Structure 1
Amino acid sequence: MKFSSQLLVLALGFNSVLAFADEAPKEAPKDASEQTRQANAAVLKELPFADKQDFEDAKKGFIETLVPMTIKDAKGQTAWDLTSYDFIKGEAPDTVNPSLWRIAELNLNNGLFKVTDKVYQIRGFDLSNMTIIESDNGLIIIDPLVTAEVAKAGLDLYYKNRPKKPVKAVIYTHSHADHYGGVKGIVSEDDVKSGKVKIIAPEGFLEEAVSENVLAGNAMSRRTLYQYGALLPRSVRGQLDAGLGKTTSMGTFTLIPPTDTISKTGEKLNVDGVEMEFQMAPGTEAPSEMLIWFPQFKMLNTAEDATHTLHNLYTLRGAQVRNAANWWKTLNQAINTYGDQVDVVIAQHHWPMWGQERIVSFLGDQRDMFKYIHDQSLNLANKGLTMNEIAEQLQLPDSTGKQWHNRGYYGSVNHNAKAIYQRYLGWYDSNPANLHPLPPVEAGKKYVEFMGGADAIIAKAKESIAQGDYRWAAEVLKHVVFADPTNQTARNLQADAFEQLGYQTENPTWRNEYLMGAYELRNGVPNVPGISTSSADMVAAMSPDLMLDYLGVRLNGPKAIGKHLLLNWKQPDGENYAIELRNGVVIYTKDKVFDKPDATLTVDKEGFAGLMMGGATLDKEIEAGKAKVEGDPEKIKELLGLLDTFPTMFDIVTP
């Protein structure tokens, strides 16, 4: 998910997050308003809550779980604590949309489950699932969760109940961190290097897994706090789910590069007696993704392309828009290829489904849903409707939209329609009034002046809130807050509007966005430590080109204008690069060196990352014998001095 910047939450640490969330805020969350209670009550009449099939499926095959459901790391710190969600039981409270409460209950199912003969899953140990397949002489593990601690705990639980066989292969279905980060909890890098264990992944996996966290990683990391509500208290007025699962584990994030790459649909592998056929799905839920067919089990693994939710075409933390056309075509191909044979379908989130007819209906519903949103968003765009108008008007037909597996628990029709508009037409709606708008602070001041001052706006906003018109109140109060961020009355009032919107929404990521915004309006930006999305394994997997791309992003262009520098970077066991600072940019060329550089830096990739990404100094690297400089070292220091350090907790709901 989705989630590559979930690494932010890992960096914070489980205990620090929960400790922060448990601190008493200056302004406590409020009760549901009468309008919110009525809106949530109406949901109970609109959707088929009498249908309990998902609850039966989610429990089917249960073997055992941990009691209590907590997992510690080697230092005794909590990596996973499902007991913090013990409040989720009984009827939905007024502060939670009943449909969201339903998926929050389903996502509490946890432990070791038997899917079919020789196929098991670990669920509820993380945001994602870990699938375990028994081969002739060992195990094949698919997607080893987010962190090593929970992956190991899951495998240990399996071994407690099944024969202890060695892991023969690990499969990464796609390039998001919740599908590979726990790999070193189940296999060692030495066993992979020796050939004892294969690591199988789709083409482009390593590049995509690393790159999404780097170039815009700082902004994504900050925004991830909103999407996942990591700093919110776990309660009926706070964070209670993440749609695809409860939340993410917080332990040791790892990565072992693939040894085997799958590059084309129809490619087959036999791993220790288990036959697999792969279907490539690039540009769907992830840039690098694949589905897997297991003929001997008549089982299809849809990775993350068919789960029990309308998925994201655009993730709220920020990422490149996904291709809805690729997505529906992938599901259609899966139906046409395997639909007449399939007996069970699994995914790397949520619970399986059994029975050929049910499975084909499920996959068809998801296919039709993505195609409807794609086609009708473009239909309305071609009729002249703008992005927000399309998102407001577009609704799924009841035949697909009221199916539980198509509800908006991670994506939504609203923001997916906007994603499609963005993918094809971009941010500009062709109205010149929107071509060059004022930035938020300047616009806010003028709006406040035009609307009769802050007090007049606040008075009218209070009336809107009393009438349950929370969206409009949030919109107008935004201008007051940006015109004067010290106006706590306006901040608190906008927080009230956000809060009720959060209580009403079915989508847990929307809920988290609203409630985090409300929290920061009332209490300010949380005082948490700096966050980095680059673990040692991630840095090791980065290409030199990606490091130099990020160097260019960190360069303060205005300060660099007028400066010129020629630098050779030589890797003892790698490529050489000619790096030139000119016109406020860094230009680099692989397999080239300058004849007369200002300096030549000899250092390996990890050492270069330490210098260019922070955490190391040139003098210390030279003293330690890790780096060597020929020419003027001050020129290298001059370049390093032009690199910005990004604020990790920048303002979002205030200027």
Structure 2
Amino acid sequence: MRCKSFKVMAIALTAILCTSNIIVAATGDTHFHEKGKKASTFTIEERNKQKAALPFSDKRDFEEAKRGFIAAPQYKQIMAEKGHVAWDIGSYEWLLEGRDFDSIHPSLQRQAILNMEYGLYEVLPDKIYQVRGFDLANITFIKGKTGWIVFDPLTAKETAAAALKFINEQLGERPVVAVVYSHSHADHFGGVRGVVDEKDVTSGKVKVIAPVGFMEHAVSENVSAGNAMNRRLFYQYGVLLPRAPYGHVDQSIGKNTAAGNLGLIKPNVTIEKDIEELTVDGIKMVFQNTPGTEAPAEMNTYFPDMKAFWAAENITGTIHNIYTLRGALVRDALEWSKQINKALYLFGQETEVMFASHSWPRWGNERIQEVMRAQRDTYANLNNGVLHLANQGVTINEIHNEYEVPESLQQQWAARSYHGSVEHNSRAVVNRYLGYWDGNPTTLIPLSPEESAPLYVKMMGGSRKILREGKKLYNDGKYLYAQEILNKLVYAEPDNQKAKDLLADVFEQIGYQQESPSVRNSFLAAALELRSGIPGGASPKTAGPDVIRAMTTELWLDFLGIRLDSQRAGDKEFTINLITPDNKEEFIVELSNATLTNIEGYQSDAPDLTITIDRSDLEEVMMGAVTFDDQIKSGKAKLKGDRGAYDTLKSLLVQFELGFELMPGTGEKDITPEKKPFEQGDIGDSAGG
């Protein structure tokens, strides 16, 4: 068969799937995998129950999503500068066939169809416009006196440039006079070079406005565990799943993430105060900093002269992640609720249109307050309801089966958990307050699954008995019970393909039943890997020069400490003074006790080695454009003292491989291109929050 490309995840991944076991299906009749199963009678029955229980008669979201439509471009694909497809809304057009797909939760199918809106939309006549369906996020254009103020310029330069070109074609050419980054996730700043020239920002001709802490968090949030985050992203975002009814259908806040050039231009205006007013090109804006909500640096914006409220990613068409499955620090559901409440009483009492960086706007004050209250109460109830149960002894391993969203909220589409899920968000609240331990000493020092599984398999009577019972549970539709025993067998016997295939069948049905695409994708991606191994050809995509330049020297040194192989370091010791004259930074880098540490602003009186290199030349090393040895040979890096300290450090650094196993027996793959010793690896993809 011919190779089919799936190009997604702009910071971290350009995943290319090419394996003989996979057939991409654009309709619901043929599964993309030779071992794949259609929805079982039990899954169809569960789907029918959900369809009967949810308020499908409420069509307001569809009316609002289509409202203000101006035009859509003739093309469905946007090409990247390197020649591959950066964006392809057309790959999801099977969702518009008017069919019910048994393999998709009805609520998720509804959300997936809502996210198919594509083109230019008027939010407020002659004032506010959005281009939707060009990327995971929306790009918003505010019409100022002389030009456009752009809110959140998408993930990729190519998609942002296409959006700007399209709105100018439809409404008349206008320059971009300002860009606002609502928060520090990549799908909200990565396309900035598609709408402005950095020289105009540096000169002050164009304002780039961001919340306090933006630059720090745009880079630092996802460095330390970036490789692991990107591997887990294969599951949460279904990176290698075909776009089909049995595979990837949606990402809840948008279809997917564009795979073009990601950039970052440093803001020249920072919103420091909790509430701060600014007028740009005749447009008055009131900013509300909301740290600790959807992102560690985020802000809402109110336009008092228009009675328009920009909710950033704090209020969209879904309840978000308190814990994101790719990995990130657990968020504060109560603080999120409080910031929505603050916005409700600061701005929501008079707002006539509410729009955001994802999903669609809402019009009319009554409707806006309804949505704001629904999301405020959902986050608050998640926090309070979970802790109410935790204070009665319900543990982190029980809470997802005990906590329920109040029925009144379940009946509101704005309170449905697509991006998050009630199950993993409820566990996140317990983890935030009480940590991972459930209070049972058995779980304080547990065996690893590889060690405990053989014991379980032996006690259960061996693999044949488990397979027989697992098949019976599968046939009876008791999928969670089936996964409990089959998972043990797969860990005990990772080469047992019958066990892996049956567990994959179980995962598939559980995935079909999920409302949250993140949870759905995780089960379906695991099923794919259990059947065929990690699909070949997946390769990481570097973060790009803008992100590397934005990374602090301290953060780079911190990550070198993570990369250090402590076992090989043994009792080796050294002290290095690092000096970067062009930005006047100084560090002590010390290896002791098999640990690499650094401290800024100090120099050792008796270093083993002093390294002097301009930060601009160090960035070339961090980007992988040259090696550190190249900089030494050219004289750009000067070494004084014992070079052995440098050589020791270089020899102890490990480059992380992206293709490690998540499920046992799926086969590790070498899918990470070789990097230079001091080159910074890919940071975790923060697109989508």
TM-score, normalised on structure 2?
A: 0.91
Counterpart position of 1:183: 192
Structure 2 equivalent of residue 465 of structure 1: 474
Secondary structure of 2:582's aligned partner = coil
Residue 21 and residue 307 in structure 1: after superposition, are their counterparts in 2 closer, same or farther (change >3 A)? farther
Higher helix share: 1
CA deviation string 1:331-380 (max 9, x = no partner) = 11111111221000001000000000110111011101111111010000
User: Which string of whole-angstrom CA distances, capped at 9 and with x for unpartnered residues, describes residues 397-452 of structure 1?
Assistant: 12112211111111111111111000000000111121111001001111111111
Corresponding residue for 1:199? 208
Task: Select the structure with the greater relative contact order (CA < 8 A; seq sep ≥ 6).
Answer: 2
CA deviation string 1:574-598 (max 9, x = no partner): 2011111111111212122223322
In the comparison of the two structures, how many residue pairs are matched?
Answer: 649
After TM superposition, the structure 1 stretch with the greater mean CA deviation from structure 2, 188-197 or 630-639, is 630-639
- Give the Cα separation in 1 of the matches to 2:324 and 2:165: 33
1:238 to 244, 247, 267: 247
Q: How far apart, in 2, do the equivalents of 1:624 and 1:472 lie?
A: 63
2:653 counterpart of 1:652: no
Could you say which residue in structure 1 is the equivalent of 2:14? 13
Where does residue 3 of structure 1 map in the other structure?
Answer: none
> For the residues of structure 2 that align with 1:209 and 1:619, how far apart are their CA atoms?
30
Task: Kindly indicate whether residue 406 of structure 2 is the aligned counterpart of residue 406 of structure 1.
Answer: no
State how 1:221-620 maps to structure 2 within 5 Å.
Answer: 221-532=230-541, 534-574=543-583, 575-605=585-615, 607-608=617-618, 611=621, 616-620=626-630
Identify the residue that residue 73 of structure 1 maps to in structure 2: 80
What's the counterpart of residue 3 of structure 2?
A: none
Q: After superposition, where does 1:118-133 map in structure 2 within 5 Å? A: 118-133=127-142
Q: Is the 8 A contact 1:21 1:232 kept in 2?
A: no
Structure 1 residue 114 corresponds to structure 2 residue 122: yes
Which secondary structure does the structure 2 equivalent of 1:282 belong to?
A: coil
Q: Compare 207-216 and 591-600 and name the one that shifted more.
A: 591-600
Q: Distance in 1 between matches of 2:388 and 2:180?
A: 39
Identity of aligned residues (%): 45
2:313 is aligned with what amino acid? E
AA partner of residue 295 (structure 1) = P
In 2 relative to 1, CA 319–431 (structure 1 residues): closer, same or farther, beyond 3 Å? same
| Structure 2: gaps of 5 or more residues | 1-6, 25-31, 666-689
The amino acid of 2:637's aligned partner reads A
* Cα distance in structure 2, aligned partners of 1:606 and 1:472: 57
**1:637 partner letter:** D
Opposite residue 626 of structure 1, the aligned amino acid is K
Deviates more, 1:191-200 or 1:583-592: 583-592
Residue pair 1:7, 1:533 contacting (<8 A) in 2 also:
no
- Give the Cα separation in 1 of the matches to 2:614 and 2:56: 59
66, 70, 75: which one pairs with 1:63?
70
| Separation (CA, whole Å) in 1 of partners of 2:356 and 2:648 | 50
Residue 7 of structure 1: how far off its partner (Å):
8.3
Kindly state the Cα deviation for residue 650 of structure 1 after the two structures are TM-superposed.
0.7
Structure 1 counterpart of 2:395, which letter?
A: T
Return 5+ residue gaps in structure 1 as ranges: 1-5
Verify the 8 A CA contact 1:95 1:504 in the aligned structure 2: yes
Q: Which of 222, 225, 250 is the matching residue for 1:216?
A: 225
SS at 1:427 equivalent = coil
Q: 1:623 to 1:21 in 2, by over 3 A?
A: farther
By how many angstroms is 1:630 displaced? Answer: 1.9
User: Take 1:213 and 1:331, find their aligned partners in 2: how far apart are those partners?
Assistant: 26
Is 2:626 aligned against 1:626?
A: no
* CA-CA distance at 1:265 after TM superposition: 2.2
Q: Higher mean Cα deviation, 577-586 or 485-494? A: 577-586
Rounded to whole Å, the distance in 2 between the matches of 1:408 and 1:18 is 33
In structure 2, the residue matched to 1:87 is 94
Letter in 1 for 2:537: V
The equivalent of 2:106 in structure 1 is 98
Change in CA separation of 1:510 and 1:75 when aligned onto 2, cut-off 3 Å: same
Supply the distance in 2 between the matched residues of 1:9 and 1:525 (Cα, whole angstroms): 20
Do the aligned residues in 1 keep the contact of 2:21 with 2:34 (CA within 8 Å)?
Answer: no
For the residue of structure 2 that corresponds to 1:105, the secondary structure is helix
Equivalent AA in structure 1 for residue 59 of structure 2: K
SS in 2 for 1:132: strand
AA of the residue aligned to 1:511: R
In the aligned structure 2, how far is the partner of 1:643 from the partner of 1:202? 35
**Cα contact 2:64–2:361 (8 A) shared by 1:** yes
Q: Quick one: distance in 1 between partners of 2:424 and 2:500? A: 25
Q: Is the 8 A contact 1:7 1:177 kept in 2?
A: no
Moved more, 571-580 or 317-326: 571-580
CA contact (8 A) 1:27 1:523 kept: no
